[in-house]
Amino acid sequence: MSKFKLELLGRLQRGLAVEGETDKIIVEAFLNAGEKVGHWVDWRSLVSIQALEGSNNILKALKQDSRIWGLIDRDWRTDQEVQALQNDHSRLLILPRKTIENYAIAPDELNAMLPSAKKIPKLSERLETHLDRWIRHGALSQTLHERHAHDFCRGDEGYPKALLNLPNIDEPAIVAQVQTWYAQLEPTSMLGFYRETLNQFSANPQQHYTHHIDGKLFFKEVTLKILNEAFAQKKEAAWVEDLFTGLSRCPQDIIPILARVVTA
């Protein structure tokens, strides 16, 4: 679904657009858990959650109606990018972790989602054997994002359109544009930025599972395999359902974010 269905909103409800079905399952589980301990009351009568297809559709949905709120992954956005987005969209909420799946990869949080009879022995050790590789992956992801690598070949300002769209092609213009691209990809500079980012990540181990790892990929490539080795083989969607259904605790870092929608 790419557009928020306003007709599904009750008279007193506000809408919450999320990026996909996984986000919807997890956010509903958080809201249920928060209600159990009194963070809010009867949230379903106040909020209708709909899964759209990605963050761009959420930003469009915010323009549809003043009753719609949006919740997106932080991904590798910088603090400045987060602030700029929220300045432009007052009802946009951004997860405090990289992705929604980052709530299902930390050993203590993951084990807490499993029934007491199904705890995985040495889960922390098994997950942590993968940490170094995934922290390096995270540092590289942050580096490439901040150097606008994802936009390098996109649109009229990317390669090669920025050159081909010049009305009057001359050699100085060609050189200037190519130098801009070269500066963006220059390996020594990029490697220095990557090392600095990796050092920052390594100095803050308490944030490894929340801020330094791509939770979406880590859950698929690491967590899912551990779960399937310990228990019956299931697909990712089935494990998300199993882990978050009946959740007893809403993570502290998302409580104030969800409270804004419920109490708006």
Q: Is residue 12 part of a domain?
A: yes
Contacts 24+ apart (CB under 8 A), 33-40: 33/247, 33/248, 33/249, 33/250, 34/250, 34/255, 34/258, 34/259, 36/248, 37/249, 37/250, 39/250, 39/255, 39/258, 39/259, 40/258, 40/259, 40/262, 40/263
Token couple for 189: 């500079």
Q: How far is CA 159 from the centre of its chain?
A: 27
pLDDT at site 246: 82
pLDDT at site 3: 92
pLDDT at site 85: 96
Task: Identify residue 51 by its one-letter amino acid code.
Answer: A
Cis? peptide before 160, omega within 30° of 0 = yes
pLDDT at site 2: 84
Q: Is residue 111 part of a domain?
A: yes
Query: Mean pLDDT of successive 10-residue segments in the chain (264 residues)?
Result: 90 94 97 96 96 94 96 97 96 97 96 85 93 98 92 87 82 89 90 97 97 98 94 92 91 97 92
CA distances from 148 to 139, 153, 180, 217 (A): 14, 10, 12, 21
Q: Are 11 and 64 in contact (CB under 8 A)?
A: no
Residue 176 to residue 185: CA distance in whole angstroms: 15
Residue appearing with tokens 């050699």:
171
Instruction: Determine the angle formed by the axes of helices 236-244 and 21-36, rounding to 10 degrees.
Output: 10
Residue 228 to residue 230: CA distance in whole angstroms: 5
Q: Are 168 and 157 in contact (CB under 8 A)?
A: no
pLDDT at site 170: 87
Q: Can you give the residue range of the structural domain that contains 129?
A: 6-142+202-262
- pTM of the predicted model as reported, rounded to 2 decimal places: 0.91
Total structural domains within the chain:
1
Q: Is residue 127 part of a domain?
A: yes
Q: Is residue 164 part of a domain?
A: no
Residue 129 to residue 210: CA distance in whole angstroms: 17
Residue 109 to residue 29: CA distance in whole angstroms: 14
pLDDT at site 173: 86
CA distances from 66 to 51, 70, 91, 97, 241 (A): 18, 11, 8, 26, 31
Residue 116 to residue 120: CA distance in whole angstroms: 10
pLDDT at site 234: 92
Q: Is residue 20 part of a domain?
A: yes
Q: Is residue 154 part of a domain?
A: no
pLDDT at site 49: 97
Q: Is residue 38 part of a domain?
A: yes
Q: Is residue 184 part of a domain?
A: no
